[in-house]
Copies of this chain bind each other. A is one copy, B any other.
């Protein structure tokens, strides 16, 4: 059911703004009416908003000019990249009073330096295109998320994205050497430095990273690259318990944390959904297990002894019984097949019915307790619910997902989503965890901020927002309650 469009706002002030924006950006730079369709609904279909216009500046100066015009007319701005937010962070509100500012046309790779191992890219470059630019220079951009074909660098940094390789290289934040952004005062913050050490004042770039477009609009960034791995080992292990999975991680980390490229946990329930619902997905082990672990080791060297390491650690775990069965991939095809079992988790869960997703984190040592207690609490709350936690054990980041019971309707299950989320989060809270590990706050979770980040912390955040954006025109209603 298509929504009505405020194709041309009736407010004279808005008409004047649109005219000024068209003069500044050209006709092609300002979309209205039906042309805004692709920008007002998020990809999951959770948020449908409206907008008086989508502006599409072609470079940083044009972004700054558009910002100055909007501020002058007191019209709020929703910055948007690939529109892949999980929490409605890039969606306009329903009242149509906001401008969507798309960064898609800022899509140039400004430079790559294989000696410094740095990549300078504009905000509208997709993560996949940035990875390709790094690869062409013989390097690795060690950031990988499932939406990388659409997600753009600006949004990736504005949300401090995580992903599979965070255990080794850190979040997006840790890869950012420099940032360029347009601030709410219309100035261009030019912090495109590519220095590994620079102690000259406040870390403004770290404030912009993760601020979800509420403090500034990131227009470009300098990213730190790594060398391409030259040796890789991947194993799949069946384990008796989350405790055994944690013990295996600890042993790999004790031996060599810098070799761990990924360490992923999967529940037996989730794996059964993948092998039964996804064509060609088969378990390469003799028997099923209560839980599974995928471990990937990598090194820039061909002779780093990774095969010995993975066989030694898993061999020892097989001996002491903490790993029931395991397979180490013998080829690229086998590695891909093992990774597919992990990557198809979301698709398999989707096919299995309605699901409630929780992107939570706890200290790594608390992951087993999180899984045990949240599982018990949810089973008591919704008898028969299928519980399929999976994710980045090495970071303490578990996607604690629940799928509707077989004997419950989709609607009846989804009606209880907030109850379920609150139940999971109550456990996370007692373990000093976070209600949003890698997806951010967006429009979905600001209501949780006072309870979780209240007092001095939320006060400080509000003061920062006020200092940068006193008129509350940059992505209002996102991140802060």
User: With an 8 A cutoff between CB atoms, is A457 at the interface?
Assistant: yes
Residues of B within 8 A of A257 (CB): 226-227, 300
User: With an 8 A cutoff between CB atoms, is A104 at the interface?
Assistant: no
Residues of B within 8 A of A453 (CB): 200-201
Report the separation of the CA atoms of residues A258 and B461 in the bound assembly, to the nearest whole angstrom.
35
* Complex contact B207–A256 (CB within 8 A): no
**Chain B residue at smallest Cβ distance from A455:** B187
Among the listed B116, B259, B305, B480, which residue makes an inter-chain contact with A363, where contact means beta carbons less than 8 Å apart?
Answer: B116
* Complex contact A463–B457 (CB within 8 A): no
User: With an 8 A cutoff between CB atoms, is A107 at the interface?
Assistant: no
Among the listed B194, B253, B433, B448, which residue makes an inter-chain contact with A195, where contact means beta carbons less than 8 Å apart?
Answer: B433
* Complex contact A463–B459 (CB within 8 A): no
In chain A, positions 294-342 with a C-beta closer than 8 Å to chain B are 299-301, 303-305, 308-309
Report the separation of the CA atoms of residues A432 and B396 in the bound assembly, to the nearest whole angstrom.
38
User: With an 8 A cutoff between CB atoms, is A94 at the interface?
Assistant: no
Please judge, given known A-B contacts A256-B301, A463-B467, whether A207 and B202 are in contact too, CB under 8 Å. yes
User: With an 8 A cutoff between CB atoms, is A267 at the interface?
Assistant: no
* Complex contact A197–B437 (CB within 8 A): yes
Among the stretches A159-167, A379-387, A408-416, the one at the interface with B is A159-167
* Complex contact A464–B202 (CB within 8 A): yes
* Complex contact A456–B190 (CB within 8 A): yes
Closest CB in chain B relative to A454 CB, distance in Å: 10
In chain A, positions 414-459 with a C-beta closer than 8 Å to chain B are 432-441, 445, 448-449, 452-453, 455-459
1/0 per residue, CB under 8 A from B, across A375-413: the answer is: 000000000000000001001110000000000000000
User: With an 8 A cutoff between CB atoms, is A193 at the interface?
Assistant: yes
**Number of copies of chain A assembled together:** 2
Residue among A173, A191, A200, A479 with most chain B CB within 10 A: A200
Report the separation of the CA atoms of residues A183 and B456 in the bound assembly, to the nearest whole angstrom.
8
User: With an 8 A cutoff between CB atoms, is A215 at the interface?
Assistant: yes
* Complex contact B300–A361 (CB within 8 A): no
Please judge, given known A-B contacts A203-B206, A304-B256, whether A361 and B198 are in contact too, CB under 8 Å. yes
Residues of B within 8 A of A162 (CB): 197, 199
User: With an 8 A cutoff between CB atoms, is A185 at the interface?
Assistant: yes
* Complex contact B300–A201 (CB within 8 A): no
1/0 per residue, CB under 8 A from B, across A156-197: the answer is: 000110100011001101100000000101011111011111
Report the separation of the CA atoms of residues A301 and B226 in the bound assembly, to the nearest whole angstrom.
21
* Complex contact A201–B468 (CB within 8 A): no
* Complex contact B195–A363 (CB within 8 A): yes
Report the separation of the CA atoms of residues A192 and B276 in the bound assembly, to the nearest whole angstrom.
43
User: With an 8 A cutoff between CB atoms, is A11 at the interface?
Assistant: no
Among the listed B117, B199, B304, B364, which residue makes an inter-chain contact with A436, where contact means beta carbons less than 8 Å apart?
Answer: B199
Among the listed B170, B255, B392, which residue makes an inter-chain contact with A300, where contact means beta carbons less than 8 Å apart?
Answer: B255
Among the listed B167, B203, B448, which residue makes an inter-chain contact with A209, where contact means beta carbons less than 8 Å apart?
Answer: B203
Residue among A195, A392, A479 with most chain B CB within 10 A: A195
In chain A, positions 30-61 with a C-beta closer than 8 Å to chain B are none
Closest CB in chain B relative to A73 CB, distance in Å: 21
Report the separation of the CA atoms of residues A452 and B190 in the bound assembly, to the nearest whole angstrom.
11
Closest CB in chain B relative to A479 CB, distance in Å: 6
User: With an 8 A cutoff between CB atoms, is A285 at the interface?
Assistant: no
Among the listed B173, B199, B457, which residue makes an inter-chain contact with A201, where contact means beta carbons less than 8 Å apart?
Answer: B457
User: With an 8 A cutoff between CB atoms, is A466 at the interface?
Assistant: yes
Please judge, given known A-B contacts A309-B301, A457-B190, whether A200 and B467 are in contact too, CB under 8 Å. no
User: With an 8 A cutoff between CB atoms, is A115 at the interface?
Assistant: yes
Residue among A191, A194, A438 with most chain B CB within 10 A: A194
Report the separation of the CA atoms of residues A226 and B168 in the bound assembly, to the nearest whole angstrom.
12
9 nearest CB pairs, A to B: A206-B206, A258-B258, A187-B456, A467-B467, A115-B365, A198-B434, A197-B437, A463-B467, A189-B456
Pairs A–B under 8 Å by Cβ, sample size 20: A116-B365, A117-B253, A166-B196, A187-B459, A190-B455, A194-B363, A195-B361, A195-B362, A196-B396, A197-B392, A197-B395, A197-B437, A198-B436, A199-B441, A200-B434, A202-B215, A202-B460, A257-B300, A305-B305, A463-B468
Q: A183-B456, A197-B395 are in contact. List 18 more A-B contacts (CB 8 A).
A: A115-B250, A167-B196, A190-B456, A195-B361, A195-B432, A195-B434, A196-B397, A198-B434, A199-B436, A202-B207, A202-B210, A202-B211, A202-B215, A203-B210, A227-B256, A256-B301, A259-B301, A466-B467
